[in-house]
């Protein structure tokens, strides 16, 4: 099976040069999702608001290919401030259940425009 971009008018887009997601075999690689609307405009808010919108964007992309957050096998999360780390861990279990996906978290790594970003890898195969 050939790798292909995942695109649709119903998923968040960016004006930057990347695909929202890419399907390769049984895996879906979702590009970093921040707190943006369907047009790719940043929607600023509290850390909680931005994390919720970012993960909602991931879920919307996954739904387009028939998957959910339960199909995520790896998360890479980026936080603008280490002061949000406790809140991030508290909120994380609202979106992901045990057994939790493999996870990497980087802090103090975003510019001043966003507070949170996430990219994921999901698996759509059978065991």
CATH number assigned to the domain comprising residue 93 = 3.30.1330.40
Assess whether pLDDT exceeds 70 at residue 121.
yes
In sequence order, what DSSP letters do the residues of 16-70 get, joined into one string? SSS-SEEEETTEEEEEEE-SB-TTS-B----HHHHHHHHHHHHHHHHHHTT--GG
Question: CA quadruple 119, 9, 125, 22: dihedral positive or negative?
Answer: negative
59-104 pLDDT tens trace: 999 999 999 999 999 999 999 999 999 999 999 999 999 999 999 9
In 3D, which of 51, 15, 46 has the Cα closest to residue 33?
Answer: 51
pTM: 0.93
8-34 pLDDT tens trace: 777 777 777 788 999 999 999 999 999
Task: Please tell me the total count of domains within the chain.
Answer: 1
Full domain range(s) for residue 102: 4-123
């Amino acid at each position: 099976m050939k790798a292909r971009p995942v695109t649709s008018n119903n998923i968040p887009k960016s004006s930057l040069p990347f695909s929202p997601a890419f399907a390769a075999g049984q895996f879906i690689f979702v590009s970093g999702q921040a707190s943006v609307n369907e047009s790719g405009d940043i929607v600023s808010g509290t850390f909680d608001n931005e994390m919720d919108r970012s993960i909602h964007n991931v879920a919307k992309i996954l739904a387009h290919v028939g998957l959910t957050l339960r199909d995520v096998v790896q998360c890479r999360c980026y936080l603008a401030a280490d002061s949000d780390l406790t809140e991030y861990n508290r909120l994380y279990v609202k979106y992901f259940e045990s057994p939790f996906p493999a996870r990497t978290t980087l802090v103090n790594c975003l510019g001043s425009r966003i507070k949170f970003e996430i990219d994921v890898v999901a698996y759509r195969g059978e065991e």
